[in-house]
Amino acid sequence: MRAVIQKVSHASITIDRDHTKNMGPGLVILLGIEKSDGLSDIEWLSGKISRLRIFDDEQGIMNLSIQDVNGDIMIVSQFTLHASTKKGNRPSYIKAALPETAIPLYDTFIEQMHQDLGKPVVTGEFGAYMQVSLTNDGPVTINIDTKNRE
């Protein structure tokens, strides 16, 4: 799994140009699911994100987690995180999981984040056309790949 994590002051997602969901301060997680991903990737990534200390403490030092600040989380599926641009100019998405594999893993990741965070998360809709608006706070953007465990 690959995740792009952005600390935000607020964010919104519009699904199929119709339904909009909003959130306050917290994290927007763009999640790419690879063919070889499984439950261990979900558990590791969710735990890492929920404990990631990237929010300011009273001294302005990034020392607090999303749990510490009771922040919101938005999770958006994004297969393009597995784009390969090695050959030519048209990205290949051959490593990205097909929907029959990716959807159950995406749903399980959402549930795991809900459990780790202790509150519901805002989500996009797998496979739908979505527009995400956010204000990156800091700015802070972190990339995590479960295959590298870093």
Active site residues: 78-80
| Cα–Cα distance measured from residue 12 to residue 135, given in angstroms and rounded to the nearest whole number | 10
Number of other CB atoms surrounding residue 103 within 10 Å: 15
Which of 85, 79, 77, 55 is CA-nearest to residue 67?
55
Structure tokens given for 17: 């140009």
| Angle subtended at Cα 132 by Cα 130 and Cα 144, rounded to the nearest 5 degrees | 105
